[in-house]
């Protein structure tokens, strides 16, 4: 790459950094079409270069597509409709991830997400409130659901139907979450099963009789 071309990309990386870190909308990050307009059609390459700088900081550029399923080889048209933002790298565990939330609030979020997944992508708020009522005090249910919606993990339509929002698709490994909950339920069931009687002890008792 020539020095002139390097200079052009360095300028584009700087511009991309400013756009991704500066919050201009209610939701973090920027749309692909905004990057396309500001940086040109090669903006995916610019983001790859930016990510090389972010890796040592345990950060990465996350992409959230309009469709729930991420395309294997997204076209420029699909990327233009997607949202890009900077987030912690997968596997990076810091206290910041908790955002000041209590563990039971996070557990409620995990339950809400897994329930919506089990209902093929949508669930009634009333049913969700009933489910969460088994896990947390009633006064917290509405507050927590509104919080999950406000932070972009869930969305609610005018019919009070709940869906997964952009942040769940960006930050939550849905398959890993379901597997974790299934394993926890399996361990709970195994712990509740009565232990089998020792046959040698039973035989000894019969001989004594």
Mean pLDDT score, 177-196: 65
Domain ranges in the chain? 10-89, 98-190
Q: Does domain 98-190 have CATH number 1.10.10.10?
A: yes
The model's pLDDT over 97-152, given as tens digits with 9 standing for 90+, comes to 445 677 788 888 888 988 888 888 899 999 999 999 888 888 989 999 999 998 88
> In degrees rounded to 5, what are phi and psi of residue 194?
-70, 145
Q: Report the predicted TM-score, pTM, of the whole model to 2 decimal places.
A: 0.55
* pLDDT confidence tier of residue 93, bands split at 50, 70 and 90: very low
The model's pLDDT over 41-58, given as tens digits with 9 standing for 90+, comes to 999 999 999 888 888 777
CB atoms within 10 A of CB 50: 23
pLDDT at 99: 54
pLDDT at 21: 78
The half-sphere exposure of 204 on its side-chain side, counting CA atoms within 13 A, is: 5
The residue with greater pLDDT, 191 or 142, is 142
58 contacts 88 by C-beta, under 8 angstroms: yes
Tokens 């979020």 appear where?
109
């Amino acid at each position: 790459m020539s020095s002139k071309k390097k200079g052009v990309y360095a300028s584009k990386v700087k511009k991309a950094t400013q756009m991704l870190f500066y919050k201009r909308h209610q939701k973090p990050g920027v749309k692909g079409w905004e990057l396309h307009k500001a940086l040109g059609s090669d903006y995916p390459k610019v983001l790859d270069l930016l990510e090389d700088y972010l890796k040592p900081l345990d950060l990465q550029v996350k992409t959230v597509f309009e469709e729930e399923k991420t395309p294997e080889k997204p076209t420029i048209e699909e990327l233009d409709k997607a949202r890009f933002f900077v987030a912690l790298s997968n596997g990076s565990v810091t206290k910041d991830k908790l955002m000041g939330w209590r563990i039971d609030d996070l557990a409620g979020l995990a339950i809400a997400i897994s329930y919506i997944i089990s209902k093929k992508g949508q669930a009634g708020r009333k049913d969700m409130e009933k489910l969460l009522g088994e896990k947390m005090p009633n006064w917290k249910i509405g507050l927590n659901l509104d919080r999950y919606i406000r932070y972009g993990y869930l969305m609610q339509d005018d019919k009070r139907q709940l869906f997964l929002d952009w942040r769940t698709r960006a930050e939550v490994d849905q398959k890993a979450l379901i597997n974790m909950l299934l394993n926890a339920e399996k361990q709970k069931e195994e712990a509740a099963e009565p232990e089998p009687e020792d046959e040698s002890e039973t035989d000894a008792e019969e001989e004594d009789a």
